[in-house]
Amino acid sequence: GDSVTQMEGPVTLSEEAFLTINCTYTATGYPSLFWYVQYPGEGLQLLLKATKADDKGSNKGFEATYRKETTSFHLEKGSVQVSDSAVYFCASSNFGNEKLTFGTGTRLTIIP
């Protein structure tokens, strides 16, 4: 079945550091890929998405590129802020299947 594997946390970085959170997927067909973010005490919000190979999703300074050859969708940000402290989830869905498969989440803490 489909699965998503993401970098285990927790991850702690200093403000303005470069961030990478790795995500790889296994799926039949061509899934859509997502990054969700969960701020403390809240539900999940969509951060960015990509629906086909080589697409780049971006939002709030975060980026992720859909790499079919490496089945990856790594999340990156050039300069993190304290307000980026949250849990980040990578997820995939296959066309025609409304269910999402989630990774286990990566807790990110940014220290001033």
Partner 1 sequence: DVKVTQSSRYLVKRTGEKVFLECVQDMDHENMFWYRQDPGLGLRLIYFSYDVKMKEKGDIPEGYSVSREKKERFSLILESASTNQTSMYLCASTRTSGSSYEQYFGPGTRLTVT
**Which parts of this chain interact with partner 1 (CB under 8 A)?**
32, 34, 36, 42-46, 49, 51, 89, 93, 95, 97-100, 102-105
Query: What is the C-alpha R_g of the chain?
Result: 13
- CA separation for the pair 30, 87 (Å, rounded): 26
Least Å distance, CB 17 to partner 1, is 25
Identity of the residue, 36 or 73, whose beta carbon is nearer to partner 1 in the bound complex: 36
Nearer to partner 1, 13 or 100 (CB): 100
Backbone angles phi, psi at 45, to 5 degrees: -125, 140
Alpha carbon distance 44, 58 (integer Å): 17
Least distance between partner 1 and beta carbon 112 (Å): 25
Residue nearer to partner 1 on the CB measure, 35 or 74: 35
| CB contact at 8 A, 50 and 56 | yes
In the complex, minimum distance from the CB of residue 16 to partner 1, in angstroms, rounded to a whole number = 29
